[in-house]
Chain A
Amino acid sequence: MTHTRRAFLGTASAAGLAAALPLRASAQDALQIALMVPSPAADVGWSRTLLDGTEAAAGAVGGEVTFLESISEGPDADRIMQRAVSNGARFVILGSFGYMNGGLQLARRFPDVSILHASGYQTAPNFSPFAAKYYQGTYLMGMAAAALSTSGKIGSVSAFAIPELITSINAFVLGAQAVNPEIECSVVWVNSWFDPASEREAAQALISQGCDVLFSNAQDTPSVISVAEEAGVYAFNLNSPMKSYAPEKYLGVVGTDWAPFFTAQAQAHVDGSFEGANHYLGMEDEVVYVSDWTPDIPADIKTRIDQTQAEIVSGAFNPMTGPLTDQSGTVRVEDGVTMTRDEIQAMDWHVAGVTTPLPN
């Protein structure tokens, strides 16, 4: 359950109101945590996993959650996050790249507030970007996809062409090429985190092009998954399992569990040890996981997937290791060289095998 400061209005209106000032009184109360996301928290998807993680963190540190959903990126978001802080929130989780500039201003104005910001690249003493290494999971999904694809064509419906999503697609294709070097991948960018109609159309377009495994990349709706089920092609998605939308053709999920990370950060805030840092979290941190695999994957491939997964967790293998060639055929990462974390987080090129050019 989410809770808000129910007592606030009574006291505030009685006091003639200095609500724009931070409420010092809340210091000895429970930690007020605010979570802001751009889409509604459905039963599944990005916003839901963030909310689950936030509530788990609140439970662990004895905090209360104010949940702010469907906040479009822009002046409204800036105002609402400011409002939440004025209302006592001291630990703020911003669930979209587009909240970055407003969040940074907020961090500067309120040094006693700790802010976690999804998918960004700016850091401040009380402002930490965080992101999941989805590519670890999408590589494994790519291996399964190549084994199940009969057409040799796979596709992805993707939200925005930012490095995080580009990397996920690249790893998906690299994993597929590990099983079938000839495989090709098409991408449709819908330029929205939450747009069921466009996602549906994009999925149908990919299927009509012959793609028989789809990757729903960073959508907060099960549209792609259900279109794939209707058309009888496999599909997987990120963040939370959507098997109920595709009982027959669900390939699996690259899930995220934010509870351990959010809890640790909220605890750090309470202890006064919160530090601004770039958190890039993967399977080794138990933030990224894969589950709900379809039983249709051939046994030998499934064994390879499990081995690869173990190597990723142990650090013995990194999918973003050369030789990596870009779409023009130029070698971008030499044989045996592993991309650095900064390179991965700034990846703005597709590997060979992705047939759609990047929007530039």
Chain B
Amino acid sequence: MRFELIRRDRASLEMALMAPVLALLAAGLVSWALFAAMGVPAGRALWTIAATPFSTWYDFSEVLVKTAPLLLIAQGLAIGFRARVFNIGAEGQLLIGAICASAIPVLLPSAGSPLLWVAMMALGMVGGAAWAAIAAFWRTRLNANEILVTLMLSLIAAQILTYLLLGPWKDPMGMNFPQTRMFQPGALLPGLLPGTRVNLSLLFGVAATIAAYVFMQRSVTGFRLIVTGTAPRAAGYAGVSAARGVWLSLLISGAAAGLAGAAEVAGPLGQLQRSISQGYGFAAIIVAYLGGLHPVGIAVSSLVMSAIYIGGDNAMVFADLPQSAVLVVQGLLLTFYLIAATFVRYRIAWTGTARA
């Protein structure tokens, strides 16, 4: 039997809203079977993953801590994705942002200004944008694929980080372990909610959401960007520069990722170390698409995504789930959501039986 996917004339709003719910149910069912087969009490394990992130103030505050970088990066990436500029290397831009921001407390350990973090955030944004600009340069100059260039630049960024941590920036009191000294208080982001680790970076994410909304839905520049993505030829005839779209997309997404990196080292980490991001740069790609590349959708999907992470960690603490089982549940959820989202936009058309 042969079938193909036909784009629906109109995607129904009800189905679009139902898709995540159905995905959640399907992932729940398969996980249930999986846990039962493993001999783990399935109901409690799933309940832990789904409910505990929202069950206490502490847990929810940790969800917000994780939401901040995901939200910030995903908003930046989504702008580029809608212009069909695929920055896959947000992880690298995040690392460079973190490195640039760390330069201030590492090189000026005795600087006592309580506003050091402001300069750090600015440097982080510049660093992330500059790292992404390399890809924009090669894309517009040589038509080099930005997916490959940004992705590979991530590997280079990781090596730069390792070099700095093992060499010039190593903590002199750190017993040779690859990490910098702890930052002075002025180099740390102010907290937002007392008693939690939520800091100013959540506001950066919220500000990025509002800015992305205004930019993409209301501004002419944003409209031009979308047109270069959806109808490049028409854009060309209308005198909209494709190169400008590439530069803008990469600079915005790079700056957002760099800021996220700066906020991580100046936030929950308090130092530059090997594992800065727990993969935020890559997870944000999923967040951006789960949110339908729409600023409001991304605000929701970043919250859901970080809740899944926190719930998964809690399942390990409370429900005796091995780490790998948690990863399987997270993978199932995303897979089912993508399947559901596809069916919202497409329908299957049977085109007859198989021919010899």
State whether B65 touches A160 (Cβ < 8 A).
Answer: no
Q: Please, which residues of chain B bring their CB within 8 A of the CB of A356?
A: none
Partner of B178, one of A6, A76, A160: A160
Q: Whole-angstrom distance between the alpha carbons of A231 and B269 in the complex?
A: 42
Query: Shortest CB–CB separation between residue B164 and chain A, in angstroms?
Result: 12
State whether B166 touches A6 (Cβ < 8 A).
Answer: no
CB nearest to A345 among chain B residues = B175
Count chain B CB atoms within 10 A of each CB in A4, A9, A18, A34 and give the residue with the most.
A9
Q: Please, which residues of chain A bring their CB within 8 A of the CB of B276?
A: 74
Q: Whole-angstrom distance between the alpha carbons of A40 and B48 in the complex?
A: 21
- Known contacts A13-B55, A74-B273, A75-B268: does B320 contact A3 (CB below 8 Å)? yes
- Known contacts A97-B177, A160-B176, A161-B166: does B316 contact A19 (CB below 8 Å)? no
What does DSSP make chain A's interface, helix, strand, loop or mixed? loop
State whether B58 touches A19 (Cβ < 8 A).
Answer: yes
State whether A73 touches B274 (Cβ < 8 A).
Answer: yes
Q: Please, which residues of chain B bring their CB within 8 A of the CB of A325?
A: none
Q: Please, which residues of chain A bring their CB within 8 A of the CB of B179?
A: 98
Query: Shortest CB–CB separation between residue B226 and chain A, in angstroms?
Result: 35
Q: Whole-angstrom distance between the alpha carbons of A87 and B44 in the complex?
A: 15
Partner of A6, one of B44, B182, B310, B314: B44
Chain A: interface size category: 35 or more
Partner of A9, one of B268, B318, B322: B318
Interface string of B16-55 (1 = CB under 8 A from A): 0000000000000000000000000100100110011001
Interface stretch, picked from A78-86, A299-307, A326-334, is A78-86
- Known contacts A12-B55, A163-B175: does B182 contact A101 (CB below 8 Å)? yes
State whether B56 touches A18 (Cβ < 8 A).
Answer: yes
Whether A8 sits at the interface, judged by CB under 8 Å, is yes
Whether B110 sits at the interface, judged by CB under 8 Å, is no
State whether B56 touches A359 (Cβ < 8 A).
Answer: no
State whether A163 touches B41 (Cβ < 8 A).
Answer: no
Interface string of B178-200 (1 = CB under 8 A from A): 11001000000000000001000
Whether A268 sits at the interface, judged by CB under 8 Å, is no
CB nearest to A70 among chain B residues = B323
- Known contacts A66-B317, A69-B323, A76-B313: does B51 contact A86 (CB below 8 Å)? no
State whether B268 touches A78 (Cβ < 8 A).
Answer: yes
Interface string of B315-356 (1 = CB under 8 A from A): 011111011100000000000000000000000000000000
Query: Shortest CB–CB separation between residue A120 and chain B, in angstroms?
Result: 8
Q: Whole-angstrom distance between the alpha carbons of A15 and B273 in the complex?
A: 39
Query: Shortest CB–CB separation between residue A126 and chain B, in angstroms?
Result: 20
Interface string of B214-233 (1 = CB under 8 A from A): 00000000000000000000
Q: Please, which residues of chain B bring their CB within 8 A of the CB of A4?
A: 317-320
State whether A73 touches B166 (Cβ < 8 A).
Answer: no
- Known contacts A6-B41, A73-B273, A98-B273: does B316 contact A68 (CB below 8 Å)? yes
Whether B12 sits at the interface, judged by CB under 8 Å, is no
CB nearest to B166 among chain A residues = A359
Whether A121 sits at the interface, judged by CB under 8 Å, is yes
CB nearest to A101 among chain B residues = B182
Q: Whole-angstrom distance between the alpha carbons of A8 and B318 in the complex?
A: 8
Q: Please, which residues of chain A bring their CB within 8 A of the CB of B269?
A: 74-75
Q: Whole-angstrom distance between the alpha carbons of A246 and B264 in the complex?
A: 43
Query: Shortest CB–CB separation between residue B38 and chain A, in angstroms?
Result: 14
State whether B175 touches A121 (Cβ < 8 A).
Answer: yes
Q: Whole-angstrom distance between the alpha carbons of A360 and B168 in the complex?
A: 8
- Known contacts A3-B320, A70-B323: does B175 contact A83 (CB below 8 Å)? no
Partner of A346, one of B51, B175, B270, B323: B175
Whether B167 sits at the interface, judged by CB under 8 Å, is yes
Q: Please, which residues of chain B bring their CB within 8 A of the CB of A2?
A: 320
Whether A26 sits at the interface, judged by CB under 8 Å, is no
State whether A87 touches B177 (Cβ < 8 A).
Answer: no
Query: Shortest CB–CB separation between residue A197 and chain B, in angstroms?
Result: 14
Partner of B167, one of A18, A40, A360: A360
State whether B178 touches A40 (Cβ < 8 A).
Answer: no
CB nearest to B61 among chain A residues = A20
Q: Whole-angstrom distance between the alpha carbons of A23 and B274 in the complex?
A: 34
Whether A72 sits at the interface, judged by CB under 8 Å, is yes
Partner of B197, one of A13, A75, A160, A359: A75
Q: Whole-angstrom distance between the alpha carbons of A73 and B278 in the complex?
A: 9
State whether A191 touches B166 (Cβ < 8 A).
Answer: yes
Q: Please, which residues of chain A bring their CB within 8 A of the CB of B264?
A: 75
Query: Shortest CB–CB separation between residue A355 and chain B, in angstroms?
Result: 19
Partner of A19, one of B56, B166, B319: B56
Whether B143 sits at the interface, judged by CB under 8 Å, is no
Q: Whole-angstrom distance between the alpha carbons of A66 and B313 in the complex?
A: 12
Interface string of A116-130 (1 = CB under 8 A from B): 000001000000000
- Offer 9 A-B interface pairs, CB within 8 angstroms, sorted by A: A4-B318, A4-B320, A8-B318, A19-B55, A69-B323, A74-B276, A75-B278, A98-B273, A163-B176
Q: Mark B residues whose CB is within 8 Å of A.
A: 41, 44, 47-48, 51-52, 55-59, 62, 65, 162, 166-167, 175-179, 182, 197, 264, 268-271, 273-276, 278, 310, 313-314, 316-320, 322-324
Query: What 6 A-B pairs come out closest when comparing CB atoms?
Result: A75-B268, A20-B58, A70-B323, A4-B320, A72-B275, A74-B275
